[in-house]
Chains A and B, each alone.
Chain A
C-alpha cells in the first residue's frame, strides 16, 4: 500500500444536482498506466475533476491519498504542486495570457523558483516541435482560436513541460484526426519515458493506447467501478461495448 502513488478509498462524489460517484476504489503506483472507460455520463470526468480538486464536485465520502498525503480537502493548486496534472476534456480559453507565459508561471509556482528563461525557451521549442506545434502558438493567448487538436496538443505540451508524477488525461484523443491522435500519443509516450509518470487515461479509443503498455483497465458505469482488468479489456470493450457491464450494474443495484 505504501508504494502507491494515488489511492482512492470508497470515494463518493456529489454535485448540487445529486450523487455522481459511489464508493470508488482505485490504486495507482508510480509509473503505471491505467485506462478508465465507461459510457457517456458515467462519471469519468467527475472522477478526474475530483482527483484534481474541482470545487464544483463535493466529496461526500471516502478519501484520496496522493504520495502518502491525504489530499481529500486540499486545494487544486496544492495538488498540482504535489505533482498531479490533468489534461482537460475541454481546455478553457484564457484571453490575456499566452501559452508560454502560462507554462512558465505554472513552472514557477510549482518549483517556487524563478524559471531560467533561455533553458525554458529551448525546452519549450523542442517540445512543441515534438508535438508538431507551430512555434507561434507559444505567444498566442491560451487556447483562444486554437483548433480542437491544437488545444489538446497544448495540454500535452503542458504535461511534458511540467513533468508531473501523475497525469489524468480526460479524452485527450476524442475529436482528433488520425495524425493528431498519433502525435498526442507520441507525447504521452515521451512523458512516460522521460519522467516515469503514472497515467490515468480516460478514453473511448484504443488508438491512443497503441504505443503504451497499459497496466490496468477500469470500467465505470453509473458512477461505480464495475470491473478492472488488464490491457486486453480495452480491446474487448471496443468489440463488445459496455452492455454487459451496464446490465451487471443494474443487477447489482436491485
Chain B
C-alpha cells in the first residue's frame, strides 16, 4: 500500500517452502503483495507489509503458511485482556 507502512519486524508470518505446492493462492489472496512466485514456489518478498489478516494461511492447502491472525485494534486487544482478567466480555469499538 503506497504511503502506508506499519511497524517493521513484528509480523508472525512464516512460510515453509518445503511444503509449498506452488498453487499460487497466497499471491491471489494477500492484499499487500507479500508473496511472489519464484521458480514455481511461493516466496516472501515484502514481509513487513503483512497485516496478519490470515488469508494466506487460511487458503494454503499444503499447510506451508502460518500466521497469528487476530484482533488488530487497541480496543479489541483491551477487550480481550479484560476478558482474560475478569472473565467478562466487553464490546469492542471496532468491527462491531
A pairs with B:
no
Interface residues of A (CB under 8 A from B): none
